[in-house]
Amino acid sequence: MQLFSLSYAQQITLTGIVTSSDGETLPGVNVFIEGTTKGTITDFDGNYELSVNSGDKVIFSFIGFKKEEIVVRNQKVQDVVMAPDINALEEVVAVGYGQTKRITSTGSVSAIQARELQTVPTANVQNALYGKMPGFFTQQRSGQPGRDASDFFIRGASSLNDAGNQPLIIVDDVQYSFDQLSQINVNEIESISILKDASTTAVYGIKGANGVLVIRTRRGKEGKPQVNLRVESGLQMPVRKPKFLNSYQTAMLVNEAYANDGLQPQFSQEDLDLFQSGTDPYGHPDVNWYDEIFKDVAFQQNANVDFSGGSERLKYFISGGAFSQNGLVRDFNDPLNEVNTNYFYRRFNYRTNLDFQVTESTSLRLDITSRFGNINEPRGQNVTGEIYDFSKIHPYSAPVINPNGTYAYAVDTEEKLPTINARIANGGYNRIRRTDSNILFSANQKLNFLLDGLEVSGRLAYSSIEENQRQVFRGSFPTYHYDPDNDLYTIDPRQNYAYGEYAVLGSQNRFTRDLNIQGFMNYTQTFNMDHNVNLGLIYNRQSRETKSNVPENFEGYTAKLNYNFKDKYLFDFNAAYNGTDRFAKENRFGFFPAVGVGYSISEEPFFKGMFYNVQLLKIRASYGLVGSDVAFGNRYLYKQVYNSGFGYIFGEDNNTSYQTIYEGNLGNDNVTWEKARKFNVGIDANLFDKLSVTVDYFYDYRFDQLVTQQDVPDILGIGISPSNIGETENQGFDGQISYQTKIGSDFHFNTSFVFSYAKNKVLFKAEAEQAYPWLQETGRPIGQPFGYTFLGFYSEDDIARNNDSNPDNDVAAPVSDVPIQAGDLKYMDLNEDGVIDNFDRGPIGKPNLPNTTLGWSLGGYFKGFTVNVLFQGSFNYSFSVVGTGIEPFKSQFQPIHLDRWTPETAETASFPRLTSNPTTVNSSSAFMSDFWLVDAWYIRLKTVDLGYQIPQRILPFNINKARLYVNAYNLLTLTSYDKYQQDPEISTNTAGDAYMNQRVVNLGVQITF
């Protein structure tokens, strides 16, 4: 009867479930009544029960989440959704061989929790990191299933060696390779950090100079078993589709180019009319090969299931996943052989992470994971490249299929290859099958009986990679040219009348075993309540065997000392003494120390009093030395090795060839690792409980870089090994500004802006002194492109001036077999000698790697609905497309070619006159210039994620959570150029015909019970 009473101070038993805004139930949340000591914590399923009086204010708090408050009216059930606190001070962040908190860290670390990555529908972790972490630069070079992992760099590039800029990748304290990383199932990941400065990377010593990507995998937590199931299915579409001109347009342009070259037209007016009318589909075909070969969409599927939980003694996390991504090529399978020659990628992952608490002070850990992957591709052809390549096929070369059902061949090309669809159907496939296994065993012993806070552990990690490939191919099959006028079929010139048999080529591509032994000693203690000390000593030894080669060994010691006083004065000292056997004995080991200091002024009592809205204000700085042992070429650079060369025919015996041996590159006894001195200063601030700011400035001086001296005269008569002489600097800033708030009682909103800027410069690279300052690479960014400076098109007046008898009024022109004509690209004569030659090739544009990258995310949560949107942009870079990607007669004719220079369009043209001669000044391969190099930026709507969490109350069975979501990747792209139809992330100076980058729209459901 009391229920009817409305008296205040009424005793109510309040119950409910606490979940995170992405639907996880939260065990262990503190629930208490404000101003009292009355409280409880949530159970394994996030349930709580608390006696309250109406009018009480109940506080929910949990590390890593924003506090929630509710005021009790008369409700009995109160579910609470807690939003992750993106500014959490206490949240731990993985760093090398340990972890740190944002509040006490002196180094430069960006971290991200896996829940922010799971919403990105991509196969690779690195593709999911775009725009989310300050200091992280990415470029996705290809969209091919299984080969679409982005290149990434931490704080840009600072090594002159291409391979020397790859960050170290550490998964659960064990080194992974780039390709191993791209196979990891995102579902297995707990958190990702990137370590950017010396203070955080010095523990890796000789491997730390390029920054470190640290991944922690998920582990079981005490609690009842939890099953998490995620199934999703998506559609892939190219971000950009190439457009090609049709037969009529192509034929017109071919005729025009021939006329420009003084050649007879290839096509008569009758041909042109037939192309235009399309009434002769076999005699005058008009095929858009892109449309014929590629589909509009391809499917991808992803399924994950994981089990986790455990008791005090044993905790487990077990996960399995399957990922499948199909290729965009149409199905050309011959029904008889059912061979799948399309691109595809299939991957299966499993992971078991176990923790045993053997005794109170002894714990064991066993992690086992394997990844099985298959990559399939049509054998021996890059299909996109084939379609672009004008020498292989024209829109009017052949019909897709002859009227009698036979395959056609490109009758009007030099190679007379079968049409692309015929080759895909019959050419077989190349399937790469790979198994990766990792086992990690570790034992940890607390030695409190010796010294309180001391523990030791040993770890054994084993990984193996095995990759083999099966290539199936058919050497020959019949193709015919059909002549509709006479109804005649002509066999191709190779005279393949019969279908050849399929042959198999098998090979073992990789076989690697990697054994890693680590020993740790760690001491953590707090003295007098205020002095927090952490001391770690680590021994690490790694041995990698690859196929039949001699193993590569790495060995080292690491020491870490962290000290802080009241979380206020922070001091870190990290050092490593380590080395690899790729250098000579006396040059193997190096010492890499770094210090970090920090001052959290917000911990000062006076400050707290003055600025109560400032939760954190910390300045920090670090300085230290780290190394990089990556070098190109022969591993034994310190040795001169003699090599076997071509055979030499000796004596009068016909064709008896004798082996030759020749001297290899001179060894460099002193070859050793590259070094970087890194300075970093940063500020961390949390304001108003809503805003968090982190900004870092860095300056890296990279020296002793292994580069091949270019100033050695050729009279030496032999190649030389690289020596440690290159110097570069790299500086910039990066950071993140995050804001989160709650609007009304139910709408959580957060937004975050991430920015990264890194600008490098070559200080020294032993370059030969150049004739003109603009030829020097020293002093410019790494990877600076060089070429001619585009001025416009040669006008008819220019040509007339060059042909008159007065040499004084000549316009600068290259010396070439093909005289300059009006409409050719005109370049600046930098040295003003009247001739366009190599001396006029100055720096143009920017390096291919963007030096600025931005990310802006917006997220909201409202009553079970979530929305997350990420915009990502890269700026300040250049790229060019050459050869079959753009040049007429190498490439298919493209819409840009319609804007070519002609005498009539001289004023408005955006492309040089057409010519069939591949060596003119208009060729980007022969005369690279800033006409071809576009100054690029792009902004992408990188990911969109919409989800709905079905209220738990209405879920049947024991289902804890059910979430439906739709997400998208690369949804919109805005670019700065219109010269090329390629994706903005292509590699520069290529044909840009890599498999198109994909846009993905994905639908999924996640169920937890």
Cβ neighbors of 883 (< 8 A, separation 6 or more) are 890, 891, 924, 925, 990, 991
Q: Which residues of 831-860 are buried (b: 16+ CB within 10 A; e: fewer)?
A: beeeebeebbbbbbbbbbbbbbbbbbbebb
- Window 37-76: residues binding other proteins (CB under 8 A): none
Cβ-count burial of 495 within 10 angstroms (0-12 exposed, 13-18 middle, 19+ buried)? Answer: exposed
Out of 312, 501, 714, 808, point to the residue binding other proteins (CB under 8 A).
714
Distance CA 862, CA 745 (A): 9
Phi-psi region of 906 (alpha: psi -120 to 50; beta: other; left: phi over 0): alpha
Q: Is 712 in the site for other proteins (CB under 8 A)?
A: yes
Q: Which residue has the tokens 């109406």?
A: 54
Count the neighbouring beta carbons within 10 Å of the beta carbon of residue 328: 24
655 belongs to the binding site for other proteins (CB under 8 A) = yes
- Residue 819 is a binding residue for other proteins (CB under 8 A): no
Residue 673 in tokens: 């690792």
What is d(CA 332, CA 329) in angstroms, rounded to the nearest whole number?
A: 8
Report which of 874, 985, 868 is spatially closest to residue 148, judged by C-alpha positions.
985
By CB under 8 A, tell whether 966 contacts other proteins: no
Applying CB under 8 A, which part among 393-401, 687-695, 739-747, 767-775 lies near other proteins?
767-775
Residue among 281, 519, 779, 864 that touches other proteins (CB under 8 A) = 519
Instruction: Check residue 530 for interaction with other proteins (CB under 8 A).
Output: no
Which positions ≥6 away from 470 have C-beta within 8 Å?
Answer: 430, 431, 433, 504, 505, 506
Establish if 716 lies at the interface with other proteins (CB under 8 A). Answer: yes
Report strand pairing: 961-975 vs 657-663.
Answer: unpaired
Tokens of residue 60, six digits: 């929910």
Least distance (Å) from other proteins to the CB of residue 837? 7
Site track 622-641 with other proteins (rule: CB under 8 A), x = hit:
--------------x--xxx
Residue 951 as a binder of other proteins (CB under 8 A): the answer is no
Nearer to other proteins, 851 or 915 (CB): 915
> Other C-beta atoms within 10 Å of 656: how many?
11
- Pairing between β-strand 961-975 and β-strand 39-41 as defined by DSSP bridges: unpaired
DSSP 797: H
Distance CA 95, CA 107 (A): 10
Give 585 or 953: the residue with its C-beta nearer to other proteins. 585
Give the up-direction half-sphere exposure of residue 999: CA atoms within 13 A in the CB hemisphere: 16
Instruction: Give the nearer residue to other proteins in terms of CB position, either 364 or 828.
Output: 364
Least CB distance to other proteins at residue 312 (A): 16
User: Is position 768 an interface residue for other proteins (rule: CB under 8 A)?
Assistant: yes
> Which range binds other proteins by CB under 8 A, 289-297, 401-409, 681-689, 815-823?
815-823
Least distance in Å: CB of 768 to other proteins?
4
Smallest distance from the beta carbon of 632 to other proteins, in angstroms? 18
Nearer to other proteins, 77 or 550 (CB): 550
Residue type, 379: R
Report if residue 807 touches other proteins, rule: CB under 8 A: no
- Give the tokens for residue 494: 């190779």
Alpha carbons 495 and 164: distance in angstroms, whole number: 50
Which of 718, 743, 800, 974 lies at the binding interface for other proteins (CB under 8 A)?
Answer: 718
Q: Is 837 in the site for other proteins (CB under 8 A)?
A: yes
Nearer to other proteins, 91 or 887 (CB): 887
Binding residue for other proteins (CB under 8 A) from 7, 654, 745, 958?
A: 654
816 near other proteins, rule: CB under 8 A: yes
By CB neighbour count within 10 A (0-12 exposed, 13-18 middle, 19+ buried), where does 645 fall?
exposed
Nearer to other proteins by Cβ, of 768 and 972: the residue is 768
Which of 502, 611, 632, 648 touches other proteins by CB under 8 A? 648
Q: How far apart are CA 275 and CA 111, in angstroms?
A: 59
Site string for other proteins, 543-572 (x = CB under 8 A): x-----xxx-x-------------------
Which class for 29: exposed (0-12), middle (13-18), buried (19 or more C-beta within 10 A)? buried
Among 486, 805, 838, 958, indicate the residue that binds other proteins (CB under 8 A): 838
DSSP per-residue letters across 520-576: EEEEEEEETTTEEEEEEEEEEEEEEEETTSPPEEEEEEEEEEEEEETTTEEEEEEEE
Residues binding other proteins: number (CB under 8 A): 69
Nearer to other proteins, 77 or 649 (CB): 649
* Nearest distance in Å: CB 539, other proteins: 8
Rounded-to-integer distance, Cα 252 and Cα 395, Å: 13
CB nearer other proteins, residue 650 or residue 957: 650
Does residue 495 touch other proteins according to CB under 8 A? no
User: Contacting other proteins (CB under 8 A), which of 57, 219, 433, 541?
Assistant: 541
Of 665 and 866, the one with the shorter C-beta distance to other proteins is 665
886 to 244, 498, 848, 883, 998: CA distances (angstroms): 11, 37, 18, 6, 21
Closer of 35 and 713 to other proteins (Cβ): 713
The residue from 643, 803, 809, 976 that contacts other proteins (CB under 8 A) is 643
Tell me which of 36, 311, 919, 976 binds other proteins, using CB under 8 A. 919
Which of positions 567-596 make contact with other proteins (CB under 8 A)?
A: 581, 585
Q: How far is the CB of 365 from other proteins (least distance, A)?
A: 13
How far is CA 881 from each of CA 32, 240, 968, rounded to the nearest angstrom? 63, 15, 28
Member of 63, 71, 488, 649 binding other proteins (CB under 8 A): 649
Instruction: Supply the minimum distance, in Å, between the C-beta of residue 721 and other proteins.
Output: 10
Which residues from 254-313 bind other proteins, rule CB under 8 A? 263
For the chain, helix (H) and strand (E) counts, in that order, are: 10, 46
Our CB check for other proteins shows the closer of 403 and 645 to be 645
Nearer to other proteins, 54 or 917 (CB): 917
CB of 641 to other proteins, least distance (A): 5
- 357-396 mask for other proteins (x: CB under 8 A)? --x-xx----------------------------------
CA pair distance 159, 727, nearest whole angstrom: 8
Phi-psi region of 573 (alpha: psi -120 to 50; beta: other; left: phi over 0): beta
Q: What residues line the site for other proteins (CB under 8 A)?
A: 263, 359, 361-362, 443, 445, 449, 456, 458, 517, 519, 541, 543, 549-551, 553, 581, 585, 636, 639-646, 648-656, 658-663, 666, 709-718, 720, 768-771, 815-818, 837-839, 917-919
